[in-house]
Structure 1
Amino acid sequence: MFRRKRSGGLLPVYGFTIAGVVLILDQLSKYWITQILDLDAGGPGAQVKVLDPIFNLTMVWNRGVSFGLFTADSLWQRSVLIGFSLAVSAFLVVWMTKTTRALQALAFGLIIGGAVGNVIDRALYGAVVDFLDFSGLYFPYVFNIADAGICVGVALLFADLLFNSDDARR
């Protein structure tokens, strides 16, 4: 008979914990930027110099997709982005419950936490709060913890695919 492959036991718990940590850190950092430092009051581009010129905190309302690409100014465009992010997150939640590899659980957790963090911003404010500015290192985009979680998570999925796939083990 066909046997169902066993899931990784505690791996989904590990992945959901990572997602929760990313989500909490993301939302707390955005609260700190907008409410405590009140960078939003300074208008777009308001800045706190941290390690100038390498790293600064720069307030940006990102109305687009990743790194401000493809702006979504209207309600229906934001709704599409929210729906897409939630659909991808749901797909990854299902996949995570079946994973047997820790690297995948970590990657899924990072992506899910980041996606949900940015969904919360879009739903509450109509845009995502971005503030991590490494333009002194010639990285032209301002981003946030959620974005970093998504990017690192995707990179880890590629690493898992390259090094942990059945073909790579042969």
Structure 2
Amino acid sequence: MTPQETSSKDTKRPLLWGRFSSFVLLIVLMGVAIDQISKLWLLYGFDLRHNGPVDLLPFLEFVLVWNRGISYGLFQQNTELGRWLLAGLTVAVTIGLWIWSARCQSRLLALALALVISGAIGNGIDRLAFGAVVDFVHFHVGTFSWYVFNMADVWIVAGVVALLYDSFRIGPNSAVK
């Protein structure tokens, strides 16, 4: 057996806790906290249901939208079965992303995965607590209207952008190394 074969067999890949897991956990906790605090304050502190919509800028407002689907309002679920299927999918995806994060070897990849996990958990909490995701940020310019979103959605989009960046930053031949 060659030294390379021996070292690759001796190197075990972590399943649940790896090099950047503490970092990922910290980012996830902060992301979920920011997301949930913003939603709870707008729902109960400000009472957006009764006091909204609120114009913040000519192109930005807070408005309450209950999203029973996933991003961009896709796959709307109006039944309890649909709600629980989406909640189960969220749990499965979150576990898969956590395992991936335990195995990652770069801080950027760990950050990207942490952001996506944060968003998934934040929206998952809404789905369990309210039966739908609380969306409230609405950008619009003239007749153009962007979809209504929340901080969890911001974390997911930022995480996906970072994942894409990370996949191209090393170079096309990095997978063979």
TM-score (norm 1): 0.89
Residue 146 to residue 136, structure 1, CA distance change in 2 (3 Å)? same
Q: Within 2, Cα distance between the matches of 1:162 and 1:41?
A: 46
Please give the secondary structure, in 1, of the residue aligned with 2:105. Answer: coil
Does residue 109 of the first structure (1) align with residue 114 of the second (2)?
yes
1:133–1:142 Cα contact (<8 Å) kept: yes
- The alpha-carbon deviation at position 116 of structure 1 amounts to 0.5
Aligned equivalent of 1:147: 153
* 1:106–1:68 distance in 2 versus 1, CA, 3 Å: same
Distance 1:125 1:6 in 2: 38
- Partners of 2:70 and 2:47 lie apart in 1 by 24
Q: Please list, as runs of the form range in 1=range in 2, the aligned pairs for 1:17-166 lying within 5 A after superposition.
A: 17-41=26-50, 46-52=52-58, 54-136=59-141, 138-164=144-170
**Alignment partner of 1:15 is 2:24:** yes
**In structure 2, distance between residues paired with 1:6 and 1:156:** 23
Tell me if the contact between 1:162 and 1:168 (Cα under 8 Å) persists in the aligned partners: no
- Unaligned segments of structure 2, at least 5 residues: 1-5
Measured against aligned partners, the alpha-carbon deviations of 1:16-49 in whole angstroms (never above 9, x if no partner) come to 111111100000000111011101235xxx3111
Runs of 4+ deviating beyond 3 Å: 5-10
Structure 1 residues 74, 9: CA separation in 2 closer, same or farther (over 3 Å shift)? closer
For the pair shown, which has the larger CA radius of gyration, 1 or 2? 2
Q: State the one-letter code of the partner of 1:3.
A: D
SS of equivalent residue, structure 2 residue 64: strand
Root-mean-square deviation (Å)? 2.2
**Could you give the per-residue CA deviations for residues 92-120 of structure 1, whole angstroms, max 9, x where no partner exists?**
11111111101111011101111001011
Check whether the contact 2:27–2:115 (CA below 8 A) recurs between aligned residues: yes
How many residue pairs are counted as aligned between the two chains? 166
